Chains A and B, each alone.
Chain A
Amino acid sequence: MTRIIDHPILGKLDDREIITFQFDGNTYEAYENETIAAALLANGIRKLRAHEGSGTPRGIYCNIGHCMECRVTVNDQANVRACLTVVKKNMVVESGKQHPNIVKRLVEQQ
């Protein structure tokens, strides 16, 4: 998605440091002091995880920490809210994954 560099009222934003971080094994650029969610959206990425049960895609919903929809794994720590967490240089971010459901699979196989 496009960044809003020039804003008619809020002014220009062009003096920020650029850093790189990883999401699901790929390297992306981010601005210093922005959230993981903002950096990923700026890179065109909306999907932050798969629902643990159904595997359906999920992204941000509230963007301010209330809904828990944006949970990702950050440097091996699971269930971190992407909308509240500042992206850091060389941070390793992984999307949330669907969990294996053994019972469901057994039922499906029958």
Chain B
Amino acid sequence: MSDVIVIGGGPAGLAGAIACAKSGLNVSVVDEFIKPGGRLLGQLHREPSGEWWNGIKESERLHQEARKLSVDIRCGVSVYNLEKENQLWNVYTNQGTLTAPFVLVATGAAEYPIPLPGWTLPGVMSIGAAQVMTNVHRVQVGKKGVIIGANILAFAILNELQLAGITVDRIVLPERNQISQTAGEPEEVMKSLLNAAHLAPSPFLRFGSRFMRRDWIRKVGLNFYPKNGVKINGTPLQLRKAAVEIIGKDHVEGVRLADIDANGTIIAGSETIYEADFVCIAGGLYPLAELTAIAGCPFQYIPELGGHVPHHSETMETPLKGLFVAGNITGIESGKIAMAQGTTAGLSIAKHAGKGAGTIDEQLQQALKNVRTVRRHAAIQFNPEIDSGRSRMNQLWEDLYATSIEQ
């Protein structure tokens, strides 16, 4: 029997497994994907230093390190249930049940879908699907596509598609409705793009962000927003166009777009069909936390973290004894932060298991400090209010659990 079962072999899970193993614990990692690395595998972007963040290389590095420490890594294994019995956690998988006193759930994030007419046609996929097909499987998703949804992940992946020689014809907004909400309102989208000023995908927005902090300037800015969009490395970002339907019989053949005003209201009679053979829907990310819910963990809705997250302390423990979490399941952030959180969770498990002889508190403090440092220097930040989201969860933990655990 292992001491620790890690569910999810992404950056958080692998870093957690490494920290546990280094502290002398016996660790198994299960992951349903074909190889370890999680969503890190698909990531490819340039750091402010000019260096490339190559997710495949980073995943291989983590994988090798874990293997050297004799971590048992099993891919192609799906976990569908998690239950406590006689002080031990049972992890139910499609290949049998595993049991251990400690479990680290690091299942990452999933994408919010934005349904629209025609979205079930083959050739329509989430933006992350295109990233994985391009960078991990190395198969082009199409010849000419349209991205629906203008957010940081869409821009990162636009760049990756372009690097692989795939033409993205344009980025447009989803039609404003109850599901797309502010993602369908040009003014709100502009605001969120300007919030991440240093990451803004085009010189127009980087430049504009200094001026457009005030609401009225932003409105004027949107009125002057070029009708054909501003170009991001050749692809127009069209904040004043919305996708109303995806067209095709057996697969995607085009997208019907309409002009919209600054609030996202469709301008009658402005619809045009544009040819495309693939469509990517970029609806944003949310924590993939079902397994912790099944296990009985209480949740809190914190929009800054991406949605509903399991209650957890800064050192990654949940209110359920022996159950820990790390990475995007605790809130949407980039790969490096997931890794730093994984290390924290691993050390935290080691501490609870009585390992780390004397130095464990110090190591844990160091790991926590590292999470904050990495967060401060993150090249990609999905939510500008991430710090306040994290503080809310920490406060909640203090209020609900801190005293009872000290006893």
Give chain A's interface residues, CB within 8 Å of chain B.
Answer: 1-5, 7-10, 13, 33-35, 37-38, 41-42, 46-48, 51, 56-67, 69, 83-86
Contacts and interface: CB of A to CB of B under 8 A. Distances in A.
A84 B31 CA distance: 11
A56 B118 CA distance: 11
Given A10-B44, A58-B120, A84-B34, A63 B140 contact: no
Nearest to B135: A10
Nearest to A43: B139
A38 B52 contact: no
Nearest to B124: A61
Contact of B137 (A5, A38, A62): A38
Contact of A1 (B56, B125, B139, B163): B139
A59 B251 contact: yes
Contacts of B121: 57, 59
Interface stretch (B13-21, B126-134, B323-331): B126-134
B310 interface: no
15 contacts: A2-B139, A4-B164, A7-B138, A38-B139, A47-B251, A51-B120, A57-B250, A59-B251, A61-B126, A62-B125, A62-B126, A63-B132, A64-B128, A69-B120, A86-B76
B137 A35 contact: yes
Contacts of B123: 46, 59
A67 B288 CA distance: 12
A10 B288 CA distance: 28
Interface in B28-86: 32-34, 39, 44, 52, 54, 56, 76, 78
Given A59-B251, A61-B125, A63-B132, 10 more contacts: A4-B134, A4-B139, A4-B165, A46-B122, A58-B120, A62-B125, A62-B126, A62-B129, A83-B129, A84-B33
The 5 closest A-B pairs by CB, nearest first: A59-B122, A63-B129, A46-B122, A38-B137, A4-B138
Contacts, number: 108
Given A1-B140, A84-B76, A60 B129 contact: yes
Interface of B: 32-34, 39, 44, 52, 54, 56, 76, 78, 110-111, 113, 120-126, 128-130, 132-135, 137-142, 163-165, 250-251, 288
Nearest to B110: A66
A34 to B, nearest CB: 6
A41 B132 contact: no
A7 B120 contact: no
A91 B207 CA distance: 54
B77 to A, nearest CB: 10
B61 to A, nearest CB: 15
A94 B113 CA distance: 27
Contacts of B164: 4, 7
B128 A41 contact: no
Given A38-B139, A64-B33, A46 B163 contact: no
A8 B163 contact: yes
A106 to B, nearest CB: 26
A10 B139 contact: no
B128 A62 contact: yes
A4 B235 CA distance: 20
B120 A56 contact: yes
B34 A47 contact: no
A61 B137 contact: no
Given A46-B251, A47-B250, A60-B125, A7 B111 contact: no
A107 B285 CA distance: 42
A57 B246 CA distance: 14
B23 to A, nearest CB: 31
A5 B165 CA distance: 11
Nearest to B250: A57
Given A57-B122, A63-B126, A4 B140 contact: yes
Nearest to B34: A86
Contact of B33 (A3, A9, A56, A65): A65
A48 B125 CA distance: 13
B44 A9 contact: yes
A107 B122 CA distance: 30
A27 to B, nearest CB: 19
A18 B165 CA distance: 24
